[in-house]
Structure 1
Amino acid sequence: MYKIMFVCHGNICRSPMAEFIMKKLVTDSGMSDQFHIASSATSTEELGNTVYPPARAELAKHGIGCARKTAVRLMKSDYDKFDYFIGMDTANIRNMKHIFGSDSGGKIFKLLTFASRGDDVSDPWYSRDFSKAYSDIEEGCKGLLSSIIKQK
């Protein structure tokens, strides 16, 4: 079983979008029983809040639901429970390493590295471009899934 945790600042836009996009990709590929996929925040400011309505609407445009998802915080204890920690931007990577104390297992990655890009997924909370965020996240998730399949 592959265990993936997507991470962003508040867990109300990018990381839940990634969680549910990836769940759809693995379901569509017939491999949902081989994956455990979740998402979390590096901050505490949105804990308990649902997915931000424009992010939820963008997912819905693509036939993806995210009902009952609420923001949760990444915990140090999560490091031993997951194989991959996928951050949306450089700040997420830095904050994950701070929460975990290190990345001794080499489990922390920036999402768009799986799309052969080094840039960040821009935060639609600020850019208001949820369509661009969706496109970037989908591209990164497809690359991540492809990378995992090649490693099998």
Structure 2
Amino acid sequence: MKKIIFVCLGNICRSAMAEMMMRQLVSENGLDSEIDVQSRATSTYEIGSKPHPGAVDELKKHKINISDHHAQQISRQDFDEADVIIGMDHQNITDLKRMAPKNDVRKIHLAYQVLDQDKVIEDPWYDHKFDRTYHQLKEVLPKWLEILKDEKSDGN
């Protein structure tokens, strides 16, 4: 089974939204038994917190299934088990690379890297533009799913 982990600072906005949106994409493609989707934080600020109400409201608008989510910090076990770790912005990438065991740094990618862009998934915690976050994630997640499906079919 392939494992993808989405990561942001607190794991209550961007990465939580990415997890729930990607889980729905995985399910719609009949890949629930082949791709595991998780999300984590780089910080301890929000550990145990539920997703931000703005994130939940935005996902509900788009009929995305809301899972029982509580923020967690990324762990050594996560680095070991993940096939792909997706950071939402440049600071997430810096923090992840600092935290990761040397052999796992290659698993870390910026979300927009999949579209050959250096853009970031902007943090709605500050400006409450959860619709922007939704649309940015909607742009990149199908491409990440394609990559996971291609790796699965290659036997990697």
TM-score, normalised relative to structure 1: 0.94
The number of residues matched between the two structures is 152
Deviation of 1:131 (Å): 0.6
Structure 1 stretches of at least 4 aligned residues deviating more than 4 Å after TM superposition: none
Deviation of 1:104 (Å): 4.4
1:84-125 Cα shifts (integer Å, max 9, x gaps): 100000110111111114354610011111133210000001
What stretches of structure 1 of length at least 5 have no aligned partner?
none
2:98 is matched with which residue?
Answer: 98
1:116 is matched with which residue?
Answer: 116
Aligned-residue sequence identity (percent) comes to 36
Q: How far apart in 2 are the matches of 1:64 and 1:83? A: 24
Cα-Cα RMSD: 1.4
Deviation of 1:7 (Å): 0.3
Q: Is the 8 A contact 1:18 1:137 kept in 2?
A: yes
1:107 is matched with which residue?
Answer: 107
Q: What code does the residue aligned with 1:72 have?
A: Q
Deviation of 1:30 (Å): 1.2
Q: What code does the residue aligned with 2:5 have?
A: M
What stretches of structure 2 of length at least 5 have no aligned partner?
none
Q: Secondary structure at the match of 1:12?
A: coil
TM-score, normalised relative to structure 2: 0.91
Is 1:149 aligned to 2:149, yes or no?
A: yes
